[in-house]
Amino acid sequence: MPAHPSTKASGEFRILKERSVQRLGFGAMRVTGPGIWGPPADLDGARATLRRLRDLDVDFIDTADAYGPFVSEDLLRETLHPYGNVLIATKGGLTRHGPGLWRPLGRPEYLRQCVLMSMRRLGVERIELWQLHRIDPAVPAAEQFDVIGQMRKEGLIRYVGLSEVNVEEIRGAQKYFPVATVQNQYNLFDRQSEPVLQFCEQHDIGFIPWFPLGAGKLAGPESALAKVAARLKATPAQIALAWALKRSKVMLPIPGTSKVAHLDENVATAALQLTNDDYAALDRQGRSGE
């Protein structure tokens, strides 16, 4: 592990070719309780983790009003406000009814409320990147996109992102606003969003993979993942994250944690150098699922 881990080794991405962020960010979902509900068990540890972000040059943080709910946004303001050059991205459009329970709500008046309340909790006059957490199937997508586009024109939102969408849904949203980022589940072993990633590459849209550390049972001792990890003296999760960073220039992984040591470990991944042979072997293993 480098003496001073830094996200700067991951390179930069320019959101809509305007705002630069380091490609390795931080997901603030885990600074909450079990089931992403209520405060974290170790509140002081979570605060220390968030304060450590500046030391590691993290300048892209992803959160959501549904994390806690509200706990993650509140802790970010408490520990990091004013944010300086750190871009705080948040999300809205899901309601919470208990630990592990998530329900979409895309009525235009509710989405507007999500934005206004996130602004208040984060202590900002504009959300730099606001993402629709899910498209609500019970509300016409056009109505959801229209109110988001209106809020962008009003200056409440600078950039707009989508989460868990397909290519056609991105195209539909683009009629109402420029799509700056897409956040879908994606990792070495879960490639269901490959067509979406390819679309993002073609249109220079930031792709934010959630669960980027996915390694699971496929990190057996004879696997390519385990062999590369052993050679580079890294963990399988670090290698999975390094693969994601090498996979695409539009990739913006946001691994999350509530522990300082784990945060340092994740950020140290930015300095790992996979060879082309490493990447190819990992890619084959990920696609084969063995």
Model pLDDT for residues 71-123, shown as the tens digit of each residue:
999 999 999 999 999 999 999 999 999 999 999 999 999 999 999 999 999 99
pLDDT digits (tens, 9 = 90+) for 173-232: 999 999 999 999 999 888 999 999 999 999 999 999 998 876 555 566 778 898 999 999
Catalytic residue among 67, 159, 176, 186: 67
Count of CB atoms within 10 A of residue 155's CB?
9
Half-sphere exposure of 165 (CA within 13 A, CB side): 27
Model confidence, pTM: 0.96
CB 37 within 8 A of CB 100: yes
**Residue 67 among the catalytic residues:** yes
What secondary structure does DSSP assign to 223-270, as a single string? SHHHHHHHHHT--HHHHHHHHHHHH-TTB------S-HHHHHHHHHGG
Closest alpha carbon to 121 in 87, 75, 85: 75
Distance CA 5, CA 12 (A): 16
